Amino acid sequence: MPAGNIEKMKYAFAYGADACYLGLVDYSLRTMRKGELITRENLKSAIDTARSLNKKAYLTLNIFAYDDDIRSLEGTLEVIKDANPHAIILSDFGVYNLVKKFLPDIDIHISTQTNILNTEAVKFWRDMGATRVILARELSLKQIEAIKKAVPEIEVEIFVHGSQCMSYSGRCLLSDYMTKGERKANHGGCAQPCRWSYKLLEETRPGEYYEIVQDERGSHILSPKDLCLVRYIKELMDIGVDSFKAEGRTKSLYYVSAVAKAYRAVMDAKISTDEAFLELKKVGNRGFTEGFFMGNNDSSSYSYEISKGLAGADFLCIFLDRRENLYKVVIKNKMLLNDEFEIITPNFKSTVRVKSIYNDKEGDVDVANTNDEVWMELTGDDHWQNEWQWALGRTVGIKNETQA
């Protein structure tokens, strides 16, 4: 699972992830802005936290590097060596040379950015000393199976969930051009112009704009739906895929937790794939697609109607503290007295009702607004209470059904 910051990493592990991938801002394809960011100063403590939980932490150094980046990375190698991640994910040959030379004891995983599509490419990276390849999203189930069968001695990882780039294996320059070089996609700053809504301008009619419309569904002509392969986890396990990966270092703590829980439950045969799919609909998405996985990718894989993901359930609150039958929560979306909502924890899902709301400034209140920290008394199913430290609140049911 993605670890955009340390808090998300901890929740991902609590909700069932075996490993997280995390990145230093300068060398990662996602530039984070919120939470306890992972920096040179706390990288070691983040990785030590993973080890203390018997989990793994992989460091992403997967930018396409310029000489300035290489020189900067050279000055960071001692920090990385001291932190000792379980593996380094990379895509650039220059970065590979540095890692191989100065960090020879750390496993190397080859990023999906290298767009590995065939058996010979996998053999190449095996012979170069890589322990794992993260295959391109453009491969089908049959092609993945053939590669794993041909090169069983190297680990194979594939993306199974999350946002997709419309460019080949994510190697896109659109953001670089549209922002005049200020937001470089392959340096972690992608502005996601593929999600923008576009209009046509006919050159002899300046100032007259025409919406690009396809079948009256809108103009987000470059925006793919999100990948979701939860229905094929058993088949992927059967053919020997070693690791399943979800996109989302810029996504919410709720996204990371709910996605980890759904895939973990399917892998452990605790719920059906149909049940898991319904759970994943409650997480932000642009509609779901199987992409190239079944070999029939077409225009139905694109989200012409929306650019931002719509969640089937609103993320309401994070639980912070407990005092007998009262719970301190931080509000993510407005909550009202007597509201019914759903609580998820790593192992439970319960429906409760807000019996009272109390804040330190006003006392008892009827409304808790976004970013408020309040105490709540709850009634209803109490199975979740033994895991209250990891509890997250969301609305009941699924809305935005047409988008998923």
Q: Are residues 157 and 282 in the same domain?
A: yes
Q: Are residues 18 and 121 in the same domain?
A: yes
In a domain, 263, yes or no: yes
**Residue 169 pLDDT > 90:** no
Would residue 192 be called left, alpha or beta, if left means φ above 0 and alpha means ψ between -120 and 50 degrees? left
Higher local confidence (pLDDT), 33 or 286: 286
Q: What is the pLDDT of residue 291?
A: 82
Kindly state the greatest CA–CA separation across the chain.
Answer: 72
Q: Are residues 262 and 320 in the same domain?
A: no
* From 78-82, 115-119, 170-174, the region with the lowest mean pLDDT: 170-174
Give the CATH number of the domain where residue 74 resides. Answer: 3.20.20.70
Give the CATH number of the domain where residue 327 resides. Answer: 2.40.30.10
Q: What is the pLDDT of residue 31?
A: 59
Which of 239, 273, 301 is a domain's end point?
301
Q: Are residues 321 and 396 in the same domain?
A: yes
In a domain, 95, yes or no: yes
**Residue 34 pLDDT > 70:** no
**Residue 404 pLDDT > 50:** no
Higher local confidence (pLDDT), 86 or 300: 86
Higher local confidence (pLDDT), 203 or 5: 5
**Residue 304 pLDDT > 70:** no
- pLDDT tens, residue by residue, 6-23: 999 999 999 999 999 998
Q: Are residues 247 and 340 in the same domain?
A: no
In a domain, 206, yes or no: no
Q: Are residues 281 and 358 in the same domain?
A: no
Q: Are residues 129 and 46 in the same domain?
A: yes
Q: Are residues 322 and 384 in the same domain?
A: yes
* Domain span holding position 399: 315-403
- Mean pLDDT score of the chain, rounded to an integer? 88
In a domain, 208, yes or no: no
- pLDDT tens, residue by residue, 218-267: 556 667 788 999 999 999 999 999 999 999 888 899 999 999 999 999 99
In a domain, 231, yes or no: yes
Q: What is the pLDDT of residue 307?
A: 56
- pLDDT tens, residue by residue, 183-205: 877 777 788 877 777 777 777 77
Q: How far is CA 42 from the centre of its chain?
A: 21
Q: Are residues 293 and 360 in the same domain?
A: no
Q: What is the pLDDT of residue 403?
A: 47
**Residue 145 pLDDT > 70:** yes
In a domain, 98, yes or no: yes
Q: Are residues 281 and 322 in the same domain?
A: no
Q: What is the pLDDT of residue 196?
A: 77
Q: Are residues 234 and 350 in the same domain?
A: no
In a domain, 189, yes or no: no
* In contact, 161 and 227? CB cutoff 8 Å: yes
**Residue 130 pLDDT > 90:** yes
Which of 246, 275, 301 is a domain's end point?
301
Q: Are residues 345 and 239 in the same domain?
A: no
**Structural domain count of the chain:** 2
The model's pTM is 0.86
Q: What is the pLDDT of residue 208?
A: 77
Which of 255, 279, 301 is a domain's end point?
301
In a domain, 327, yes or no: yes
